[in-house]
Amino acid sequence: MENTQKGKYLVNKSGFSYFSPTGQPDPSQEPQSTAGSLCPTCGQAIPENCQSNVDPDEDIVTGTDVQAASDKGIDYDKLIDKFGCSAMTPELVNKFEKCTGEKPHRFIRRGMFFCHRDLDVCLDAYEKKQPFYLYTGRGPSNEALHMGHTIPFIFTQYLQRVFDVPLVIQITDDEKFLYKDELDLDDTIRMGITNIKDIIAFGFDPEKTFIFSDCEYIKYLYPNVLRVQKSITLNQMRGIFGFGDSDCIGKYAFPPVQAVPAFSNSFPHIFGDKKNIQCLIPAAIDQDPYFRMTRDIAGKLKYMKPASFYSTFFPALQGKKSKMSSSVYSSAILLTDSPADVKKKINSYAKSGGQETAELQR
């Protein structure tokens, strides 16, 4: 059918077309912030959490990037307010001791696990003899874990022991393939298997622990993955994770895969078709965007909202401005490093807090 309207279609800075009756650019159709516009350096769409769209005095904490604004490290009090989590309180620590019958783990006493979502609800349910299970995971981007990875696994092993509950551990070999251009799918699957050997060594109860690869277990996750995908829009996904136009479509599709292990009916061989069993997720605080999304969608699906318990970051060797990363050789000490490797990395990359020269130190 012939278009009888005057004017023409134009494209705004975000790459979206709109109809202009006059044929002239319409300022109201342009983005009102840098998010979604084109980066003057690379020409790509700028996501919501891009550093060029962030106050340089603000910490950056996302599922893929952690950068502190100062050498003091992440301001965790400010992060609690920003994410809307609840800080640990002396009352909740005491309740933890009451429920478990022993002194809380040193990671709690030292403030390493410092905030939560509905941990108190989970403990209330436990006191009423209502079941729950644990869920944590690992994204394989290296043949070995580093020291920072030990924190959630040490703590999760403690939780499993004191509460005597089932545990599921997700190996996101699909995620790392999608996010790491240099890795092939065969690489991430192989690394996942190698990482599982390290994870087993933390001493989990073999009768109550299920470790699974996304690539292998996906057929059981997929019904819930579809339910989550249908419950969230493209704009919501961009707003939560900061994806841009140049990101592969797989990045948009992955977050529901990380979400659904928090729903008990994703594991029919463990829980059958029950969808009302509480899940508790011990993880680092950068994983909260995934589980905020999960909690929002759980309500829509009439599933039980998962609880979460978050830790601080294990700093990189260079200092507190970033966390250890398996992908950055100089930032991390791997569990497979020899004593000579550890010495070399510390001598070459670690900073003591002193100045770089004797003159500055004086």
Which CATH number fits the domain that encloses residue 272? 3.40.50.620
Least confident span in 226-230, 313-317, 347-351: 347-351
- Establish if 12 belongs to a structural domain: no
**pLDDT at residue 198, rounded to an integer:** 93
> Is 344 inside a domain boundary?
no
Determine how many CB atoms are found less than 10 A away from the CB of residue 42: 9
Task: Provide the residue range defining the domain that includes 123.
Answer: 76-316
pTM above 0.75, yes or no: yes
239, exposed or middle or buried, with CB in 10 Å at 0-12, 13-18, 19+?
middle
Residue 348 lies in a domain: no
CA 10 remoteness from chain centre: 38
* Band (359; pLDDT cuts 50, 70, 90): low
| Residues 25-78: tens digit of each pLDDT | 766 555 444 344 434 333 344 444 444 455 667 888 877 778 888 888 888 999
Residue 260 lies in a domain: yes
Spatial separation of the C-alpha atoms in residues 335 and 79, rounded to whole Å: 29
227 falls within a domain: yes
* DSSP string across 320-331: EEEE--TT-GGG
Q: Would you say residue 49 lies in a domain?
A: no
Asked if the structure places residue 67 within a domain, the reply is no
How many structural domains comprise the chain? 1
Instruction: Judge whether 4 lies within some domain.
Output: no
